[in-house]
Amino acid sequence: MKRKGLGEARRLFRARRFPDVIRLLEPEVFRYRENFEYFQMLGFSCLQAGDFGGAFSYISRAHQLKDDEPSVILGLAAVHFRRTEHESALKRWLEVVEAQPSNPIARRGLDLLRKGMTPDELQEFIDSGKLKTLFPPLPRRVALAPILVAGLSVLVLAGLVWLGVRLGSPQGPQRPGVSVIEIPTGLSSFIDIGTDFPFVFTEGEVRQTFQKAKNELLAYRDNLAVVDINRILLSNAAPAVKERARMLKGFVTQATFDTVKDSYAYAAVTKQPALYDGASVVWKGKVANLKVAKDSIAFDLLVGYDQEKQLEGIVPVTVPFAADLANGSAVEILGQIVTNGTAPTMLATSLHRLAQ
C-alpha cells in the first residue's frame, strides 16, 4: 500500500500533475511522517502549484529529515525569496553553493540578490513566471507518446460507452443509489405531533426538503444537501423519514480544497451549529493552545485572526494527521463541522500554512 501510493505520486509528479499529487498525498501525512521522499514530492508540488504556505511547511519537514539535500534547500530559498526574506534566501543559496559550487539555480538566486530588486521589480519578476527559474529542478517528464495513445484510446472507448448508454436508455442521475432512496410509502403521517423541534414542518415541507436534498446530492452540492438533511433530522419529521435522511447523508463525500463548494462562514455556523453538522468549511486563522499527541494534533483556531485584524471567534480543531504547526501559525483549514453540544468543533481534513 505504501509503495503503491508513492509510486502513483511519482508518476503524477513526473507528468507535472501537481494538483493531483497534492490530492493524493496530503491525506496520508501520518502514514509517511518519517518519509523524506513523501515530503519532498508534496512540498515541491505545492511550490509548483503556487501554494507557498504548504510548500514551506512540507519542504521544511523534508529538510528536517535530510538537511543536506540541495534540492530541498533550493526549495526553501525560493519560498524565502518569494516572501522577500532575502537574508534567509541568501543563507540557503550559499549552503547550496558550498556543497555544489557550480549549481546554476543557487548562482542565479545569488546574482538576483547581488543586483537588488525593488518591490515593483520583484512583483514583475513573479508575475512574469520567472520565479520558477529558482525552483528545484524537476525529474524528466514521463514519455508523452504512450500516454497520449493510451489517453486517446480511453477517451474513444468512454465516448462509445457513453453513446451506447445515451441511445440505449434514458439519461439518468450520475450518483448511483441516491435516486432510489425515497420516503416510505404507506406512512400514516410524515410528521410527529408537537412543536418542541428547531424546525416544524408540514407534510408538504417535509417532502419538499427531502427532494431538495436529493437533488443537491445528484448535483454534487454536498454542503447544501448536508444542511437540508440536518433540517429534516432536527425537525418534526417522522422517524421513518429521518432514517431515510440519514441514508442520504451517507452519500456525502469528503471535500478537498479544489472541490469544496458552498463553504459556510463562521458567523452562520455559530448561530445554529447542529444545522451544519458534517458540512465542510474553509476558515483562516491563527493557532493557539497547540497540543501534539502521537496520532493527532489539537488546537484552538482564532478564526479570522490570520492577519491580526479581526477575531471572529474561537473553534477547537482536531487534526488527525501530522502537520508542522506552532502557536501563532497562520493557517487555512479545510474541515468538517462536528457538533459538540451547543458549540461547533472542527475536524481538519487538510490545511495550509499562510505566509506571515
Relative to beta strand 343-353, strand 330-340 is: antiparallel
Enumerate residues 6+ apart whose C-beta is below 8 A from 147: 15
- Report the CATH fold assignment for 266-353: OB fold (Dihydrolipoamide Acetyltransferase, E2P) (2.40.50)
Cell numbers of 182, please? 425515497
Is this model's pTM higher than 0.85 or not? no
Contact 261, 283 (CB under 8 A): no
pLDDT (average), residues 310-319: 93
pLDDT of residue 78: 93
- Do the beta carbons of residue 84 and residue 52 sit within 8 Å? no
What's CA 163's distance to the chain center, in Å?
34
Q: Considering the chain, what percentage of its residues have pLDDT values greater than 70?
A: 88
Those residues whose C-beta lies under 8 Å from the C-beta of residue 160, and which sit 6 or more positions away, are: none
Q: Is the pLDDT of residue 50 over 80?
A: yes
Buried-state track 29-42, b at ≥16 Cβ within 10 A, e below 16: beebeebbebbbbb
First CA to last CA across the chain, in angstroms? 37
Quick check: 192 pLDDT over 80?
no
Q: Which amino acid is at 215?
A: N
User: Residue ranges of the domains in the chain?
Assistant: 2-134, 176-253, 266-353
What's the pLDDT score for residue 157?
A: 47
CB 74, CB 62: distance < 8 Å: no
* Cα dihedral across residues 44, 45, 47, 51: positive or negative: negative
Closest C-alpha among 301, 279, 315, 314 to residue 351: 301
Whether residue 66 is predicted with pLDDT greater than 50 in this model: the reply is: yes
Say what the pLDDT of residue 245 is: 92
- The amino acid sitting at 284 is K
Over residues 150-187, the pLDDT tens digits come to 445 444 444 544 444 344 334 444 576 788 888 887 77
For domain 2-134, the CATH architecture is: Alpha Horseshoe (1.25)
- What pLDDT sits at residue 142? 53
Alpha-carbon gap, residue 41 to 54, rounded angstroms: 12
Dist. CA 295–CA 293, nearest whole Å: 6
Q: How far apart are CA 351 and CA 356, in angstroms?
A: 15
**Alpha-carbon distances, residue 86 vs 83, 92, 135 (angstroms):** 8, 10, 15
- The whole-angstrom separation of Cα 300 and Cα 283 is 12
Whole-number Å distance between alpha carbons of 77 and 308: 26
DSSP summary character for residue 66: -
Write out the three cell numbers for 52: 507557498
Which run of H or of E encompasses 38? helix 36-49
